[in-house]
Structure 1
């Protein structure tokens, strides 16, 4: 690995999150000296729009010395790269919309990473990311792959099976988004926090949040504040009512289970009937994103093409971009910073199966992830929930590699948002049709 003149490839370069990642790289150039950025995507129009936006950023921030490329060719994208930041979305927003609306048509949760919609997305993502990792192994086998592609535990399980020696970290920014939103709402500085957390991706709990400046665990007071009143939307989610609904549900979960601070995505497993009842099946989260971030990004590119004057760039992604750049910096400088990562359990949670793919605090250095052991068993309530979800995820990955309809049906049936095998089979059969060409053939 080089220590200067870094080449970073962004897989899913056309993503609306790319500007935030580039901004974080530029603002940390003293720790992370990037000299070449390559945007790789299979959607040429979106990739070229993003190249235009990133070029504008480089020129306006005085980084003309950073080389910028955009390509649809994996060999060109990944040859000679030091880091690959992956944020691909196989099928785009059009398929996300089907992941959400088809389950809802059966009275089931429709969500991109949770429930059967998440499983639908997972079967597409596995295929797409295995392809990206394969290209990296061929063209730059020593490069580090930092993955944001969802659903993370399914991805991590599949990569572990097919590419066990790949230099790869799987991370989700949801925990830091929860923390940042709480900190902004209640007057704390998240940078002073040391969080203890365990679970699966989008399926976990905080056990403590120690504040170094206050010299105490602030989680009990955060729980008390959240039970009194839900958080308000932070600036990086401004105008997005769905996030306010999520924070409302977080407070509701705490009314039932006040001992630990949950990941808000647990609402889909604790209250699936309420979520379905309150969801507009004609205008789901995918439609909100298409009308919001996607439209906004297209307008920015159009303004740049038309040489519009005044403020052109409009994006705020919170800690999303900074988090992945901090991981890369921790690898590069062997600084052993602490992150929440998704990886095989291997005893970190002592009373959970060894090969479960879990999300836990981890130190990151030149050799990759060094997980932090919890030392104590988790309680039966959390353990039972996690074991059922983990078994469903493993069955789904089995189904992918074996092309097994039976295994996928078992995964759908075991998913805790699904009330019966009849519903599981009905929605699976509809999703097979919708995902033709994206999923493996199931027999």
Structure 2
């Protein structure tokens, strides 16, 4: 089975390959094609993968190419993890937004809109090519903003594109662990949009254990989200929000922390990864050891500004292991082998949330089998969550409209309507500033 990884020179690709190395079952991936626009990054990542596979018999074969059509042709699965504009673009997204006093995070607020505006046209081109060159392939999208990009691709691939994210998985795992339960045995009642969702229940043997957690301030304060949001606020919500909702519930504090930081997250990662890829230019460097060292630093500093502003302290060791690669592998196994499972995924709504239309991509538990991912019916969201979901989905639709039409006015509208951008004039200045620094936005007229 052939797996094509778009963004194959990306730093986190070895996580995906490492997960593949654990799969010894029938119908497993036997050929991995790495595609990237940067041949040097491809060679660097291929070296890491070669060291990963050195002690593994019959490891999946790895080839690399800068030709997109060649990479897509005949693929069974396509994993999309591209970053349009690179980490330098992410740093620019953050810098421009913070100069206006608004959030520049890559998936939330102004930064997420800017990233979406330059990513959607590229993702749509990939979707069209995949439909033509690999019509039977399943596309797994990890490209951010994951929900928005998945919805853009779904207009050309239908339900054969599925978005993944490790945030809900990690949240459910942490809650189950605190409650003394096996995460694999828990049903997580989670719903929302990507990076905008809530756990409303966690059922173990048919019993909802979330009320027990919410009633115990000590337990609430013992894991990442409890430290980040505070026990009182979680008890007021009656739910556990995705960590990215910290940007909404504590926006002023988050913006202040990001403005006071020595470097933005994007600037930090750009410098860190540049050092890794530079090190890989030395043919004698130990590739896997350098990658492991760099990844450990990356994971330990994740959302550091938010944790600092909340007084949440350092991340727990158990939260430093990532997880999206495990979601991707479980998804591929379920589809390729009809190994039915339940995963929280980004898929078309299909009537699950009545406040959104059928084609709106949402993040929700899905039953997965050889026919793809099927969203599970969930209870309606409370009004405060419904308002936020509808507002952000409306912004996503404006981004899609701007990308399709090239309308600068629609782009301004997308920024102006976002709950974290509080001024039409700020929105106009943001579009001007982003167009100045991103060549990929030259299509906006």
Give the alignment's TM-score, normalised by structure 1.
0.87
Number of the residue aligned with 1:306: 284
Task: Check conservation: 1:395, 1:411, Cα contact below 8 A.
Answer: yes
Q: Distance in 1 between matches of 2:234 and 2:337?
A: 43
**SS in structure 2 of the partner of residue 160 of structure 1:** helix
Contact 1:105/1:281 (<8 A) preserved: no
Question: Aligned equivalents of 1:226 and 1:119: distance in 2?
Answer: 36
| CA apart distance, 1:366 | 1.6
Tell whether 2:377 aligns with 1:373.
yes
3-state SS, counterpart of residue 136 of structure 1: helix
**One of 395, 400, 413 as aligned partner of 1:397:** 400
Instruction: Compute the displacement of 1:166 (Å).
Output: 6.5
Gap change, CA 1:100 and 1:224, over 3 Å in 2: farther
Partner of 2:44: 49
What is the match of residue 415 of structure 2? 412
Secondary structure of the equivalent of 1:145? strand
- Are 1:195 and 2:188 an aligned pair? yes
* Stretches of structure 1 lacking an aligned partner (at least 5 in a row): 1-5, 234-245
2:9 maps to 1:7: no
**Distance in 2 between residues matched to 1:293 and 1:189, nearest whole Å:** 35
Q: Which moved more, 1:109-118 or 1:79-88?
A: 79-88
**Residue 338 (structure 1) aligned with residue 342 (structure 2):** yes
* 1:227-376 → structure 2 map (5 Å cutoff): 230-231=221-222, 248-251=227-230, 254-255=233-234, 257-279=236-258, 280=260, 282-292=262-272, 295-296=275-276, 299=279, 301=280, 305-306=283-284, 308=286, 314=292, 315=295, 317-374=321-378, 376=379
Aligned position for 2:29: 34
Name the residue aligned to 1:216: 207
2:237 aligns to what SS in structure 1? coil
C-alpha distance in 2 between matches for 1:285 and 1:252: 27
Deviation at 1:339, TM superposition (A): 1.2
Equivalent of 1:421 in 403, 420, 424: 424
Matched residue SS, 1:34: coil
How far apart are residue 179 of structure 1 and its match? 2.5
Cα 1:187/1:312, change in 2 over 3 Å: farther
Please point out which of 162, 167, 172 is paired with 1:169: 162
The answer as to 2:441 corresponding to 1:439 is yes
Residues 41 and 277 in structure 2, CA contact (< 8 A), matched pair in contact too: no
Superposed displacement of residue 347, structure 1: 1.3
Deviation of the 1:297 alpha carbon: 6.5
Is the contact between residue 181 and residue 231 of structure 1 (CA under 8 Å) also seen in structure 2? no
Give me the whole-angstrom Cα distance separating, in 2, the residues matched to 1:319 and 1:52.
Answer: 22
- 1:49·1:298 contact (CA, 8 Å) conserved in 2? no
Give the Å deviation of 1:252.
6.7
For residue 129 of structure 1, what is the aligned residue in structure 2? 123
Within 1, Cα distance between the matches of 2:244 and 2:197?
9
Distance 2:7 2:356 in 1: 34
Q: Deviation string for 1:247-266 (max 9, x for gaps)?
A: 64333783573311111111
Taking a change above 3 Å as real, the CA distance of residues 52 and 247 of structure 1, as seen in their structure-2 partners, is farther
Mean Cα deviation higher: 355-364 or 219-228: 219-228
Higher mean C-alpha deviation, range 94-103 or range 316-325? 316-325
Counterparts of 1:67 and 1:302 in 2: how far apart (Å)?
23
Structural RMSD (CA): 2.6
Distance in 2 (alpha carbons) for counterparts of 1:164 and 1:277: 41
CA shift digits 1:214-266 (9 cap, x unpaired): x5323233445577664567xxxxxxxxxxxx764333783573311111111
Report 1:135-146 matches (<5 A).
135-146=129-140
Number of aligned residues = 418
CA displacement, residues 373-414 of structure 1 (integer Å, 9 cap, x when unaligned): 12x432211111111111111111111101111111111111
* Native 8 Å contact 1:25 1:32 kept in 2: no
Distance 1:307 1:259 in 2: 51
Contact 1:103 1:427 in 2 (8 A): yes
Matched, 1:206 2:185: no
* Contact 2:84/2:118 (<8 A) preserved: yes
